[in-house]
Amino acid sequence: MLRSFLLLSILALFIPSLQVRAQSSPAAQALVPADLPTGERWLKHFNEDLLPFWNLPDAWGTPRGDFPTFRGNDGRAVDWAQRPAELTEAPGWMKENFGREYVRMKSRQTYFYGVAYHLTGDPKMLALARDGAAFIRKQALDPRTGSAVSYWEKGVAKPEVLARTSQDLAYAQLGLAMYYYLTRDEATLRDIKRLKRHIFTQYWNPEWQALRWVVTPTPEGDHLRQELVAQLDQVNAYLLLLTPILPAADRREWTADLKRLARVMVKDYHDADRHLFWGSLHDPAQKQLGSRHTDFGHTAKAYWMLERIGRLTQDQTLVDLATTGARAVLKQAYLPESGTWGSRLRPDGSVGTGKEWWIYAELDQLAATLALTDPAQAAPLPRTADFWFRRMVDPVNHEVWGGTGGAPDFEPWQGPKIHQWKSGYHSAEHALVGYLTAQALHGQPATLYFAPKDARARLRPYVFEGTVGQRTSLPLPGFPGRRKVRVAFTELR
Q: How far is CA 11 from the centre of its chain?
A: 40
pLDDT at 416 over 70: yes
pLDDT at 349 over 60: yes
pLDDT confidence of residue 18: 33
Q: How far is CA 358 from the centre of its chain?
A: 9
Q: How confident is the model at residue 30 (pLDDT cuts 50, 70, 90)?
A: low
Looking at the DSSP bridge assignments, the partners of residue 210 are 205
Long-range contacts of range 289-292, CB-CB < 8 Å, 24 or more positions apart?
289/344, 289/345, 289/346, 289/347, 289/348, 289/349, 290/344, 290/345, 290/346, 290/347
Q: How confident is the model at residue 469 (pLDDT cuts 50, 70, 90)?
A: very high
Q: What is the mean pLDDT of residues 350-368?
A: 98
pLDDT at 106 over 90: yes
* pTM of structure: 0.93
Do the beta carbons of residue 113 and residue 126 sit within 8 Å? yes
Proportion of the chain above pLDDT 70, given as a percent: 94
Domain ranges of the chain: 30-490
CATH architecture under which domain 30-490 falls: Alpha/alpha barrel (1.50)
Give 242-259 pLDDT, tens digit per residue.
Answer: 999 999 999 999 999 999
pLDDT at 348 over 70: yes
Do the beta carbons of residue 101 and residue 63 sit within 8 Å? no
Give 298-343 pLDDT, tens digit per residue.
Answer: 999 999 999 999 999 999 999 999 999 999 999 999 999 999 999 9
Give 280-310 pLDDT, tens digit per residue.
Answer: 998 888 888 887 889 999 999 999 999 999 9
pLDDT confidence of residue 125: 99
C-alpha 29/C-alpha 331 separation (Å) is 19
For 351, residues 6+ apart whose C-beta sits below 8 A from its C-beta are: 332, 333, 335, 342, 344, 345
